[in-house]
Amino acid sequence: MITCLVFAAPAMAGDMPAQAASVAAAPSDADLARTVCVPSEERILPGDFFYCIAERSYGHGDVAESQRFFKEAASWASKPAQYVLGVMALNGDHQPVDRSLGIAWLALASERPNSSFRQAYEAAFQAATPDEREHAQHLLKTMRSTYGDAVAATRAERRYADGMARFNKAAARGDGISCMAGEQNLGADPNDNAHCMASEKMAMAIDKAAANVFDGWTGHVTVGDLSTVDHH
């Protein structure tokens, strides 16, 4: 699961799309609503940032806004965002049930080797009718051009490289302390809207989030035709 680069509240991006075995540990809507996101992260890891905004919007009950930001995160290679969108479509979460759309999202979410979302995709595919599978295949062909790793992860990787280059230059010019513009916390100093820490610690936090965003990404993985894995 993706860990959101947040500094004031440990409501982590990636917690909401928990797999079946850990659903009981998923945060409540109130927990999600308290998520604190760091706008400056959008310049480095937009997939992680927009996922954070999406889960917070979901916690506040603004599902339309949440879906919009999940899709934005998905376009920046957030596999948890693609998984959540798939589950929402399959379950009819604040929308009509659309099994084909759900399967297409789960296919994208599980495209990387050893994906933790593969089991969810296989289960949805097995439960689908032939017509639903065929429609999912048509949807996937269209969605792949925006959300598939060949496009989304490639541009996310470029954004990360450019963002870290700027961060490292700024850190080299500074005094060892780095700040990322953030959102004010309730009860905090209203004049303090930045999150600061030692540059080395900040870089480690960014790298940890990036490792999760790009987990399994090899630079050449693409989504093929829909199918299940033969375990025999």
Using CA atoms, how far apart are residues 217 and 154, in angstroms rounded to an integer? Answer: 9
Cα–Cα separations (whole angstroms), residue 142 to 108, 111, 120, 156, 223:
12, 15, 21, 19, 12
The encoded tokens of residue 112 equal 């990387």
* 194: β partners: 181
What is the chain's mean pLDDT, rounded? 79
DSSP-based three-state secondary structure for 172: helix
Using CA atoms, how far apart are residues 52 and 42, in angstroms rounded to an integer? Answer: 10
Q: What pTM was estimated for this model as a whole?
A: 0.78
More confident residue, 195 or 38: 38
Indicate whether 141 pLDDT > 80: yes
The mean-pLDDT minimum among 22-31, 113-122, 175-184, 213-222 falls in 175-184
State which amino acid sits at residue 140.
L
Residue-wise pLDDT tens digits, 74-103: 999 999 999 999 999 999 988 899 999 999
Kindly indicate the confidence band of residue 197, based on its pLDDT and cuts at 50, 70 and 90: low
Kindly indicate the confidence band of residue 29, based on its pLDDT and cuts at 50, 70 and 90: confident
Kindly indicate the confidence band of residue 33, based on its pLDDT and cuts at 50, 70 and 90: confident
Q: At what angle do helices 63-74 and 79-91 cross, to 10 degrees?
A: 140
Using CA atoms, how far apart are residues 163 and 149, in angstroms rounded to an integer? Answer: 19
Using CA atoms, how far apart are residues 218 and 133, in angstroms rounded to an integer? Answer: 27
Using CA atoms, how far apart are residues 229 and 122, in angstroms rounded to an integer? Answer: 8
Indicate whether 188 pLDDT > 50: no
* Closest to 222 measured CA to CA, from 172, 139, 151: 151
